[in-house]
Structure 1
Amino acid sequence: MRTAKITRKTNETNILVCIDIDGTGENQIDTGIGFLDHMLNLMAFHGKFNLKVICEGDLHVDDHHSVEDIGIALGQAFNEALGDKKGIQRYSSIYIPMDESLSLVNVDISGRPYLIFNVDFKSEKLGEMNTQSFKEFFKAFTYHSGITLHINLLYGENDHHKIESIFKGFSRALKEATIIISKDLPSSKGVI
């Protein structure tokens, strides 16, 4: 089974993340940040990942530490759950519409962390979450999972629709890239 459990405790956050890549979308999400809970719920549902994310963070300061540390722990869990990565499809490109918004999310499970995040928001916050924190989440996830991730918002008006399109695309791209299609390591170098 491709599962992992990560705990992360700092002076700013206390986090538990459990993931089953081959799940059904069951989830238990409680980050203290309602909008992030909504996005992680979408990630679990549309990626069919069983996901548990519990975070106690210093939200009296702001959401930055919690969002970044959740990205770190979730990235670590994803990488650990993938194991040796033998047989995975490795690549995926997904377009997802959400009403007037359209995003393109590209994933390469490469072992080389890199993030492109071409997204602009009109609002400072969505719910109680700072819109700048979304890039921090994806940056932390990318670095700690060892994936290359390109997120391009092609167009959109409503910030809620924009980020929802992105999270749905992110989850679908991760799912597609982790599908087992052979017994071989998907790298001409022989290592990821």
Structure 2
Amino acid sequence: MRTGRIERKTAETDILVEVNLDGTGTYDVSTGIGFLDHMVEQFAKHSLIDVMLKVNGDLHVDQHHTTEDSALALGRALSQALGDKGGIARYGSAHSPMDETLARVALDLSGRPYFVWKAAFTQAKLGEWDTELIEHWFHSIAQTAGITLHCEVLYGQNNHHICEALYKGFARAMRIAVEIDPRKGGAVPSTKGQLGG
């Protein structure tokens, strides 16, 4: 079983996250931010990665620490579950339509974090979640999971659709990238013999 479990406790947040890369997309998510919960649930459902994420954060201050730290912890759990990445497809990409919106997400589980963001929102909040934190969530998960991650909205108008298309695209790209390719015989997918660093 390719699983990861991270406990992260600071003065700002107390987080427990568990993932199973070979799951069925089950989820149990509670961050205290309703729209963020909805997006992480979408990630689990469409990636088929089981996710349990529990966050007790300093929401009386603002949503920044909870958003950032939840992504950092989830990224670490994904990295832990991937191990040396032997046998994985490594690359994944997806075009994700949602009504009038089309998003494109491409990624490489390279172990070398890099992040490109070409998306924008025209309102300050989705539900109670600050939209400026959406980019930061993706950047944070790319950092700790070691993902080269490119997120782009090709077109769209509805802010809810834009956000959800990005999360579903990320999920579908991750589903492809983490899959074990039986033809690789467990080999690390790199001519260097290792990924990262």
TM-score interval w.r.t. the shorter chain?
Answer: over 0.9
Question: Partner residue of 2:81?
Answer: 81
What is the identity, as a one-letter code, of the residue corresponding to 2:88? Answer: I
Aligned residue in 2 for 1:39: 39
Q: Tell me the SS of whatever aligns to 1:65.
A: helix
What residue is the counterpart of 1:177 in the other structure? 177
2: CA distance, partners of 1:173 / 1:6? 23
The residue aligned with 1:61 is: 61
**Structure 1 CA distance, aligned partners of 2:103 and 2:136?**
18
Measured after TM superposition, the shift of residue 136 of structure 1 is: 1.1
Residue matched to 1:117:
117
- How many Å separate the matches in 2 of 1:187 and 1:25? 28
Q: Percent identity?
A: 48
Moved more, 147-156 or 177-186: 177-186
Question: What are the superposed Cα offsets for residues 26-84 of structure 1, whole Å, 9 maximum, x if unpaired?
Answer: 11000000000000110111111111000000111111000000010000000000011
Amino acid at match of 1:52: M
State the Cα distance separating 1:93 from its structure 2 match.
1.3
Partner of 2:9: 9
Q: Please give the alpha-carbon distance, in whole angstroms, between the structure 2 residues aligned to 1:179 and 1:100.
A: 30
Deviation track 1:137-174 (CA, whole Å, cap 9, x = no partner) reads: 11110110111000001010000000100000101101
Aligned partner of residue 5 in structure 2, secondary structure: strand
Matching of residues 120-135 of structure 1 within 5 Å: 120-135=120-135
- Note the C-alpha offset of 1:190: 1.2
Structure-2 residue corresponding to 1:96: 96
Q: Which runs of 5+ in 1 are unaligned?
A: none
Gaps of 5+ in 2: none
Find the residue that maps to 1:86 and give its secondary structure. Answer: coil
State the shift of 1:116 in Å.
0.4
Say whether 1:188 aligns with 2:191: yes
User: TM-score of the superposition, structure 1-length normalised?
Assistant: 0.99
CA distance in 1, matches of 2:34, 2:136: 17
Contact 2:84 2:194 in 1 (8 A): no
Cα distance in 1 between the residues matched to 2:70 and 2:128: 16
Compute the TM-score of the two structures, normalised by the length of structure 2: 0.96
Rounded to whole Å, the distance in 2 between the matches of 1:176 and 1:103 is: 17
Report the number of matched residues: 192
Moved segments of 4+, more than 3 Å: none
Distance 1:116 1:56 in 2: 29
The CA distance in 2 between the partners of 1:156 and 1:48, in whole Å, is 26
Secondary structure of 1:154's counterpart equals strand
Q: Does 1:50 align with 2:50?
A: yes
The one-letter code of the counterpart of 1:131 is T
Matches of 2:93 and 2:101, distance apart in 1: 17
Give 1:96's aligned amino acid: S
The superposition leaves residues 93-131 of structure 1 with CA deviations (integer Å, 9 ceiling, x where unpaired) of: 100000000000001010110000111100101011101
Q: What is the SS of the residue equivalent to 1:16?
A: strand
